[in-house]
Chain A
Amino acid sequence: MNRPAPDALAMRLAELLAQAALKNQRAFADLYQLTAAKLFGVALRILRRQDWAEEVLQECYVNIWNHAGDYAAQKSAPLTWMTSIVRNRCLDWLRRPQREATGDEYDIAVEAWQDESPGPLESLMASSEAAALARCLRELDARQRQSIMLAFFHGLSHSELASHMKQPLGTVKTWVRRGIERLKGCLAAAA
């Protein structure tokens, strides 16, 4: 399948969202085809359960269908808007106490982040819009970077981070907070 370049993709998605807002079903089907795998990846990594991820993905697309008209008012890129809907829905989903991840089922998933594994950072570098983010993440202390990425990619809460990284809760909270501050400073300087 021939994939459009990021900018072309963003334009195409914005156009499809505008048409979906007018209840154009064909446009919505195309929108789904272009974005479902990206958004499902996001949901699956955070929720770590296939059935939950499928349910959340469905809900999010219902949401996107119903609120496509609101997109025009947003300043963000279409995929950012859609990804945020999915991420927020996932995090809300995990908020229900019985759904907090328990055991070690995600240990395999997060192994890539055990060390300073550059995997996803490398692929970030490939896209110019994200290159600054990748560079700034590299500049963080390894533990700050690891905690932010574990939280962002895999939906780990502070307490899950603490148990996963075998550190006191206060320590990981500080890593996340300092990481955020440094990241913001670095990105502001890069802009």
Chain B
Amino acid sequence: MASYKSPELRDKLAAEYVIGTLRGRARARFQALLRYDPDLRRTVSEWEARLTPLSAAAGEIAPPARVWQALAGRLAGAKPGGGAWTGLAFWRGLAVTGGAFVLILAAFIGVAPRPEPPMAMVAVMSDDKGVPALVVSWPSMKAMRDPYVRIKVVQEHPVMAPGTTWEMWMVPAGKSAPVSMGLISTDADQTMKLKPALASRMEGAWGVAMSIEPKGGSPTGVPTGPVIFKGQCVKLL
């Protein structure tokens, strides 16, 4: 269409496209044109820059939590193998749904690739903003020869500062003094062996926490550095 060559018309169409009054087939035609015409794209961008401040003035409306949940689910589905994403989407959703928590959690742990005993307890550890960072789970410690907990990273860690370590703590029910579980690495999926004395207490754990400690771990036996992740335990069995 020759008329698209007129600069005035191009500008007018771009403006109406951005304002939204260009509709139907005219809009479709204009969009087709945009694909091949960088100059026209620039004209559109200019109008967008002119008018978008209006949108900002119009006030915010928070979408319901289900939008993020569905979005996270879609992205997780669209990216099979995007393990970390699946993790984040997953845990974010959980943070809101609450009730479905244990069931989905069980399903998540159920699909763990390694054959291992069913997990008896789990804690999702979050940062101070409530964003999940680690999942700690463990099987029933009864009759276990080498008691351990599994630790999975659901989103990337902050960098471990030189000269520091990360120490895991079991917070007993009644929230008495935390008991050290050991030092963790930056591995995405790791197993932490527990001393038998601690293993026998894991069933009664109220929560788990992770603190930043000097190399070698807390010198005092209680957390000395900041607690960056913590989470409450949930019984699965």
Contacts and interface: CB of A to CB of B under 8 A. Distances in A.
Interface string A132-172: 01100000000000001101110111100100000000000
B19 A124 contact: no
Most buried by B among A42, A53, A76, A177: A42
Given A36-B63, A41-B61, 12 more contacts: A26-B88, A37-B62, A40-B62, A58-B67, A79-B52, A80-B49, A87-B18, A124-B57, A127-B53, A133-B51, A180-B16, A180-B19
Contact of B24 (A41, A95, A123, A148): A95
B53 A133 contact: yes
Size range of the interface on A? 35 or more
Interface of A: 23-26, 29, 32, 36-38, 40-42, 44-46, 53-54, 57-58, 61-62, 65, 74-77, 79-80, 83-84, 87, 91-92, 94-95, 120-121, 123-124, 127, 129-130, 133-134, 148-149, 151-153, 155-158, 161, 176-177, 180-181, 183-184, 187
A76 B189 CA distance: 41
Contacts, number: 150
Interface of B: 11-12, 15-16, 18-21, 23-24, 27-28, 45, 48-64, 66-68, 70-71, 74-75, 78, 82, 84-85, 88-89, 92, 131, 155-156
B23 A75 contact: no
B9 to A, nearest CB: 11
Nearest to B11: A184
A37 B63 CA distance: 6
A143 to B, nearest CB: 14
A45 B58 contact: yes
A interface, over-half SS: helix
24 contacts: A26-B88, A26-B156, A36-B63, A36-B67, A40-B60, A41-B58, A41-B60, A45-B58, A54-B67, A62-B78, A65-B75, A77-B49, A79-B52, A80-B52, A84-B52, A95-B23, A120-B59, A130-B53, A130-B54, A133-B51, A133-B54, A157-B23, A161-B21, A180-B15
A40 B66 CA distance: 13
